[in-house]
């Protein structure tokens, strides 16, 4: 696990060193550089595999190929044997060396051979070309800048900003997607002229020109014929192998453990290969906590268990967290993950996580809601919906409606209005639009209201692109949207940045590409079966977990602002970022609307609170990165 960086097409004395210093948290155990003519690249190393001889850059036998690598190739043992059998000579025992020899043997098809998470930079001296690439699910980030003949890449955008040739400015067009989605979809970033290399893509730089190619994709099966027994057998084999591979390490490996089924399955399978497991759970000392359930499960598995509690005073860490995230993510929950990683890093260098399971096996409530609504639309006459069902729903008191949802926070009048409008216009929207509507913090009309006149044109209804392929069942198409969007641009990014802030590596067995492909081959009923979400996981878990863990419904994990917002530290953040002078100076938002949101805090409705703090986080990002204020 490392941080990589480099540039081509220009000279800038000291830039490589500054990029290394900026990413030192990603790799405190060592560094390496390669400079030849117009190519310069380097890395910071976090030693996980081959602690003695795995330093980078790494070359092939005749030094015509050189690689800087961030991540882990879990199947490096098998690849090394295969490549040695074909005559390649290895000088290390590291997973990184399989990349240069794999490229020699298979060309760009070598990416298909890799099972792991990675961002890599490979320079081919013979062809005089640079290749950068990311893993299939986008677990490891990679940014680039390409303008005026200059090309710069890095694991973190802040390293690119170290160049005097890169303007430190906001990508104004990204503000609307941030408000609508809580993050900026790839390939855009919040920085002007800095892009994300999309997951499952490689970029080739030749003679100053770039071309970007997708090397892997997963398409929903048009008609799956797998039986229940076949699904269970295939899941068992594939998931067990994924856990086994992600445990390969020359340093201790722990695990994040919530009370949810995903991380519980990971820990349950870890026990087959390791009897000494440190586990880490997160709570808020609030009514939504599941710490007792996680504690009980850890005790059953005999784990050395640790608990992290996020308290209101921790809000003071938010500016530092945003510096590590590099982009605003409109959810204060990022702070809690920062603290969880901080504690885990004191005990281990690697943690396993259940990330990715919800996106593959339909673990979110909106997966079911969209399916049910589609059925309702299909079989309920339009007049009955418009003249009876919707007016009746609108008349239901908020406290009653709130009980129908498994979100722990208070739905409120704002949330109730969203539900009614969602149902009223479901048939008028595309799948992508309904998907966004159920998850958005700021609807289109609300974004138009909060903007000043100069920025109202930013508001758009097209925040997530509809998939080009309409093949497969509705649920599979929905999961495909979720996999390409929310997982890659939000969940995995916040986990990578928060873990690497503490030089901690996070691995996700559910994102083994074999398991991803299997998930999309399974019939939709193996994911959502009537009222049961993640059906295949729950059936499989019966042989591993206690029945209360198998049956426990998913409790959405969120930051309980309704319990924190009255804390002095929380009020300080709002006052510092959303005062009248600051809002008007930035110029994006109408202060009257911002003032309205601040006044609505006492309503304790989670939509208003989340909207307000999304603006707080956006302003903090500007203060940290555009104004270069050090707020911690």
Q: Residue 200's domain is classified under what CATH number?
A: 3.60.20.10
> Would you state the pLDDT for residue 388?
61
Asked whether residue 205 falls in the same domain as residue 65, the answer is yes
Asked whether residue 168 falls in the same domain as residue 282, the answer is no
> Would you state the pLDDT for residue 368?
85
632 in any annotated domain: no
Among 63, 70, 64, residue whose Cα is nearest residue 42: 70
Residue 587 tokens, joined: 């110029």
> What are φ and ψ of residue 440, in 5° steps?
-70, 145
Look up the pTM and report it.
0.93
Residues near 233 by Cβ (< 8 Å), separated by ≥ 6?
none
Degrees (nearest 5) of the Cα angle 374, 377, 379?
105
Asked whether residue 149 falls in the same domain as residue 279, the answer is no
101 in any annotated domain: yes
144 touches 197 (CB < 8 A)? yes
> Would you state the pLDDT for residue 415?
62
Asked whether residue 613 falls in the same domain as residue 505, the answer is no
48 in any annotated domain: yes
H helices of 425-473, in order, are 431-439, 444-450
222 in any annotated domain: no
> Would you state the pLDDT for residue 410?
46
> What are φ and ψ of residue 206, in 5° steps?
-135, 125
Asked whether residue 13 falls in the same domain as residue 83, the answer is yes
Number of DSSP helices (H) and strands (E) in the chain, helices first: 29, 17
Rounded Cα–Cα distance for residues 349 and 632 (Å) = 25
**Per-block mean pLDDT, blocks of 10 residues, the chain (632 long):** 90 96 93 91 82 79 94 96 96 93 97 97 95 97 96 98 97 96 94 97 95 90 82 97 95 92 96 92 84 94 95 92 95 93 96 96 87 80 64 59 51 63 80 87 92 95 74 87 90 95 97 96 92 93 91 74 80 94 97 93 78 96 96 86
> Would you state the pLDDT for residue 399?
60
Asked whether residue 55 falls in the same domain as residue 197, the answer is yes
461 touches 198 (CB < 8 A)? no
Asked whether residue 105 falls in the same domain as residue 180, the answer is yes
Degrees (nearest 5) of the Cα angle 221, 518, 528?
75
Q: Give strand pairing partners of 280.
A: 256, 306
170 a catalytic residue: no
Asked whether residue 244 falls in the same domain as residue 343, the answer is yes
> What are φ and ψ of residue 121, in 5° steps?
-130, 120
Asked whether residue 377 falls in the same domain as residue 511, the answer is no
556 in any annotated domain: no
Query: Which residue shows structure tokens 């690249």?
Result: 41
> Would you state the pLDDT for residue 22?
96
Domain boundary among 527, 551, 575: 551
Rounded Cα–Cα distance for residues 114 and 546 (Å) = 35
83 touches 102 (CB < 8 A)? yes
Asked whether residue 510 falls in the same domain as residue 399, the answer is no
Degrees (nearest 5) of the Cα angle 182, 487, 628?
45
221 in any annotated domain: no
Asked whether residue 235 falls in the same domain as residue 311, the answer is yes
Domain with residue 290: its CATH number is 3.40.50.620
572 touches 436 (CB < 8 A)? no
CB atoms within 10 A of CB 268: 20
Degrees (nearest 5) of the Cα angle 553, 554, 555?
110
Domain boundary among 438, 473, 508: 473
H helices of 86-131, in order, are 97-106, 110-113
284 touches 310 (CB < 8 A)? yes
Entry field: residues in the chain: 632
The count of domains in the chain is 4
Asked whether residue 495 falls in the same domain as residue 468, the answer is no
> Would you state the pLDDT for residue 369?
83
Whole-Å CA distances, 246 to 49, 122, 241, 353, 510: 12, 24, 9, 10, 10
Using omega within 30 degrees of 0 as the cis cutoff, is the peptide bond preceding 187 cis?
yes
Residues near 487 by Cβ (< 8 Å), separated by ≥ 6?
137, 138, 355, 356, 359
Rounded Cα–Cα distance for residues 90 and 83 (Å) = 9
State which H helix or E strand residue 163 sits in. Answer: none
> Would you state the pLDDT for residue 401?
52
29 touches 46 (CB < 8 A)? yes
Rounded Cα–Cα distance for residues 349 and 503 (Å) = 7
576 in any annotated domain: yes
441 touches 321 (CB < 8 A)? no
Exactly one of 2, 68, 231, 303 is catalytic; which is it? 2
| 624: DSSP letter | I
> Would you state the pLDDT for residue 455?
97
Among 335, 331, 271, 347, residue whose Cα is nearest residue 302: 271
> Would you state the pLDDT for residue 397?
63
Domain boundary among 551, 579, 608: 551
139 touches 493 (CB < 8 A)? no
Residue 5 tokens, joined: 């960086």
220 in any annotated domain: no
CB atoms within 10 A of CB 272: 12
- In DSSP notation, 531-571 reads TBSSHHHHHHHTTTS-HHHHHPPP------HHHHTTSHHHH
Residue 259 tokens, joined: 């009370």
| 219: DSSP letter | -
Residue 306 tokens, joined: 């640790």
Q: What is the dihedral of CA 361, 364, 365, 366, to 10 degrees?
A: -90
Q: State which residues form the domain around 292.
A: 228-362+476-551
Pairing state of beta strands 129-134 and 201-206? antiparallel
């Amino acid at each position: 696990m490392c941080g990589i960086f480099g540039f081509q097409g220009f000279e800038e004395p000291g830039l490589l060193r500054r990029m290394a210093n900026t990413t030192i948290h990603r790799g405190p155990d060592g560094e390496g550089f390669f400079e030849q003519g117009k190519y310069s690249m380097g890395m910071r190393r976090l030693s996980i595999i081959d602690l003695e001889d795995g330093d980078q850059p790494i070359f092939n036998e005749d030094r015509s190929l050189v690689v800087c690598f961030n991540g882990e190739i879990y199947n490096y043992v098998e690849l090394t044997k295969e490549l040695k059998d074909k005559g390649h000579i290895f000088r290390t025992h590291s997973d990184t060396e399989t990349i240069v020899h794999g490229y020699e043997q298979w060309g760009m098809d070598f990416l298909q051979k890799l099972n792991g998470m990675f961002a890599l930079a490979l320079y081919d001296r013979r062809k005089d070309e640079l290749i950068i690439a990311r893993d299939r699910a986008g677990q490891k980030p990679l940014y680039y800048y390409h303008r005026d003949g200059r090309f710069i890449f890095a694991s973190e955008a802040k390293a690119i900003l170290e160049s005097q040739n890169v303007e430190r400015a906001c990508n104004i067009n990204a503000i609307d997607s941030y408000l609508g989605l809580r993050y900026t979809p790839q390939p855009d970033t919040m920085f002007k002229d800095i892009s994300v290399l999309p997951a499952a893509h490689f970029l080739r730089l030749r003679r100053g020109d770039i071309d970007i190619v997708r090397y892997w994709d997963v398409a929903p099966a048009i008609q799956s014929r797998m039986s229940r027994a076949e699904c269970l057998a295939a899941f068992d084999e594939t998931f067990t192998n994924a856990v086994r591979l992600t445990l390969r390490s020359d340093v201790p490996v722990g695990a994040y453990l919530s009370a949810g089924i995903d991380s519980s399955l990971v820990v349950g399978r870890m026990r087959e290969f390791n009897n000494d497991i440190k586990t880490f759970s997160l709570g808020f000392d609030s009514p939504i906590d599941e710490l007792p359930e996680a504690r009980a499960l850890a005790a059953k598995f005999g784990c050395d268990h640790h608990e992290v509690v996020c308290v209101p005073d921790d809000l003071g860490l938010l500016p530092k967290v945003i510096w590590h995230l590099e982009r605003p993510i409109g959810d204060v929950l990022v702070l809690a993950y920062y603290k969880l990683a901080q504690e885990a890093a004191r005990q281990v260098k690697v943690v396993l996580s259940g990330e990715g399971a919800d996106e593959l096996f339909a673990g979110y409530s909106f997966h079911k809601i969209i399916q049910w609504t589609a059925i309702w639309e299909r079989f309920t006459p339009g007049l009955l919906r418009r003249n009876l069902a919707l007016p009746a729903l609108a008349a239901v008191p908020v406290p009653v409606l709130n009980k129908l949802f498994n979100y722990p926070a208070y739905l409120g009048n704002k949330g109730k209005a969203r539900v009614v409008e969602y149902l009223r216009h479901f048939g008028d929207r595309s799948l992508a639009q309904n998907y966004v509507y159920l998850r958005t913090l700021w609807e289109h009309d609300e974004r138009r209201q909060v903007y000043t006149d100069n920025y109202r044109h930013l508001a758009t209804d097209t925040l997530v692109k509809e998939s080009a392929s309409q093949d497969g069942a509705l649920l599979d198409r929905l999961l495909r949207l979720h996999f390409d969007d929310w997982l890659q641009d939000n969940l995995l990014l916040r986990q990578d940045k928060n873990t690497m802030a503490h030089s901690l590596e996070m691995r996700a067995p559910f994102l083994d590409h074999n398991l991803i492909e299997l998930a999309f081959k399974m019939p939709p009923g193996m994911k959502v079966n009537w009222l049961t979400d993640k059906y295949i996981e729950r059936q499989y878990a019966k042989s591993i977990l206690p029945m209360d863990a198998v049956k426990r419904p998913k409790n959405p994990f969120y930051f309980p602002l309704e319990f924190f917002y009255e804390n002095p530290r929380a009020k300080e953040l709002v006052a510092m970022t959303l005062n009248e002078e600051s809002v008007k100076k930035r110029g994006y938002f109408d202060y009257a609307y911002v003032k309205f949101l601040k006044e609505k805090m006492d309503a304790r409705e989670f939509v208003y609170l989340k909207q307000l703090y999304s603006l707080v986080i956006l302003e903090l990002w500007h203060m940290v990165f555009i104004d270069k204020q050090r707020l911690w």
